[in-house]
Structures are given as structure tokens and as C-alpha cells.
């Protein structure tokens, strides 16, 4: 009796068809690979900690390698899900075509879940790039005075970070002295178009 036949009999398939054998192979190999990968990651971490402590070294998987392993785990999970869902469907309905389709969707679903997890990890990253358009509507003060039809500098909080940005007055003939409170009304390139706040705006700001 071959190994696959033994597995098939253990799973309740006395005389498995070719499709059932494929499902069994996928389920067994996918699960084995997935478990081994998970085990290696866990044991690797434990071993890494032991080696780090004993020899005062840095022995750990870097980010790139972790992502590669993660991808391999995704493939292993997809293959495993294909096999398991196929076996479940074929034993429940006896329809091989339905089992193959269901197995494929299960594999796609597991891949999709991996993608969602990857997306979640990616969303945790912040590149710190400022979008100048986010400054529109923000209030700040003039850092370096803005002369008529010339640029100066303003300090505005954009995306929670105080930035010093090049600015021009909306009214070309206006001069805005240093420390004057302003509001960004538009952005052209990296230059803020600002106008001074009047006293009414300041009161509204305090009320907010």
C-alpha cells in the first residue's frame, strides 16, 4: 500500500479517484508545509533568542526574509485550503466538478486573507511625505514677513506636524508682518496662498 493510499484510507476514501488523490495530496502536503513553516518561524525565534543571549549576537530573520516566508505561507495555506475544501465538498456532495471549483475559491479566499493582512501591515507604515493640499484651511502664523507680491514663510500644522512653508498673500498688494495669524486658502505647487485672519476668525478659533 502506497503512502497516498494509506492517507486516503485514513481520511475515509477507500478507492480514491484521481481528483480525490489530488485533493488529498494538496491537503496533506499543504498542511505539512504550512505547519513546518510555522514551526520553523517559532523555533527560529526561540533559537534566535537563545543564541542572542548565549553569544551576545543578533540572530534573527530580517524583514525581507520574513515577508518571503509569509508569501510561502500564503501559498502553503492556499494549497492546503484547496485540498481541504475539495475533500470536504467531494465527500459531502460527491460532485468532483463542484469540489474543484469550491477548492479553487477556497484557495483564492485564503490568498485574499493574506493580501488583507499584508495591506494591514502596509497601512502601519508612514512615509512622512507631506501633501501640500492638506494645508488648505489650516491656520498658522507668519514666520518670515510676506511683502507685497513676494514670498515669505509661514508656520502651519499640516497632518499633525508643524511645517515652515513658503507663502504668498492672496491679496498681492498686501503685506503681512511676522507673527500675524493667517489661514491657508490655496496651494500652488509648494507655495501656500494665505490671508490674514481677522479678529472674528480668531474668536471662532478659540471657541472651537
Partner 1 sequence: MIDDGSENLFEGFWPFMKRFLILFLPLWVFLIGYSANLHIMISAILAGLSVSTVAIFEKYRLKQESDSTTAGNKVIK
Interface with partner 1 (CB under 8 A), residue total 20
16: contact with partner 1 by CB under 8 A = no
CB of 96 to partner 1, least distance (A): 4
Nearer to partner 1, 21 or 147 (CB): 21
Task: Tell which positions 38-97 bind partner 1, by CB under 8 A.
Answer: 71, 74-75, 78, 82, 96-97
Residue 207 burial (CB < 10 Å; 0-12/13-18/19+)?
Answer: exposed
User: Minimum CB separation from partner 1 for residue 92, in Å?
Assistant: 15
Q: Please report whether residue 27 would count as binding partner 1 according to CB under 8 A.
A: no
158 forms beta bridges with 161
Residue 103 near residue 81 (C-beta atoms within 8 A)? yes
* Candidate residues 101, 130, 147, 174; the one interacting with partner 1 per rule CB under 8 A: 101
Among 77, 80, 99, 192, binds partner 1 (CB under 8 A): 99
Residues 6 or more apart whose Cβ sits within 8 Å of residue 14:
8
Given candidates 18, 54, 126, 188, which one binds partner 1 under the rule CB under 8 A? Answer: 18
Among 115, 148, 185, 198, binds partner 1 (CB under 8 A): 115
Strand (E) or helix (H) holding 102: helix 96-124
Measured distance CA(78)–CA(177) in Å, rounded: 64
Q: Name the minimum Å distance from CB 193 to partner 1.
A: 20
Cα–Cα separations (whole angstroms), residue 139 to 24, 32, 64, 192, 197: 65, 59, 42, 11, 8
Q: Residue 41: which residues within 8 A CB-CB, separation 6 or more?
A: 61, 69
Cell triple for 7: 492517507
Stretch that binds partner 1, among 45-53, 111-119, 135-143, 156-164 (CB under 8 A): 111-119
Q: Which of 37, 41, 118, 147 binds partner 1 (CB under 8 A)?
A: 118
Place of cell 481541504: 84
Binding footprint of partner 1 on the chain (CB under 8 A): 18-19, 22, 71, 74-75, 78, 82, 96-97, 99-101, 104, 107, 111, 115, 118-119, 122
Amino acid at each position: 500500500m502506497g503512502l497516498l493510499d494509506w492517507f486516503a484510507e485514513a481520511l475515509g476514501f477507500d478507492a480514491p479517484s484521481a481528483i480525490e488523490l489530488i485533493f488529498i495530496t494538496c491537503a496533506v502536503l499543504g498542511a505539512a508545509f504550512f505547519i513546518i513553516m510555522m514551526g520553523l518561524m517559532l523555533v527560529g525565534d526561540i533559537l534566535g533568542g537563545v543564541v542572542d543571549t548565549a553569544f551576545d549576537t543578533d540572530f534573527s530573520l530580517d524583514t525581507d526574509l520574513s515577508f518571503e516566508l509569509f508569501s510561502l505561507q500564503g501559498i502553503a495555506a492556499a494549497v492546503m485550503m484547496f485540498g481541504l475544501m475539495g475533500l470536504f465538498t467531494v465527500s459531502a456532495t460527491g460532485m468532483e466538478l463542484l469540489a474543484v471549483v469550491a477548492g479553487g475559491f477556497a484557495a483564492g479566499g485564503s490568498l485574499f486573507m493574506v493580501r488583507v493582512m499584508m495591506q494591514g501591515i502596509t497601512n502601519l507604515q508612514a512615509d512622512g511625505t507631506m501633501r501640500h493640499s492638506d494645508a488648505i484651511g489650516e491656520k498658522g502664523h507668519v514666520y518670515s514677513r510676506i511683502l507685497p507680491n513676494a514670498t515669505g514663510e509661514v508656520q502651519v500644522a499640516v497632518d499633525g506636524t508643524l511645517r515652515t512653508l513658503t507663502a504668498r498673500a492672496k491679496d498681492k498688494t498686501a503685506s503681512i508682518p511676522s507673527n500675524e495669524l493667517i489661514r491657508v486658502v490655496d496651494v500652488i505647487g509648494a507655495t501656500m496662498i494665505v490671508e490674514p485672519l481677522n479678529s472674528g476668525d480668531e474668536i471662532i478659533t478659540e471657541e472651537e
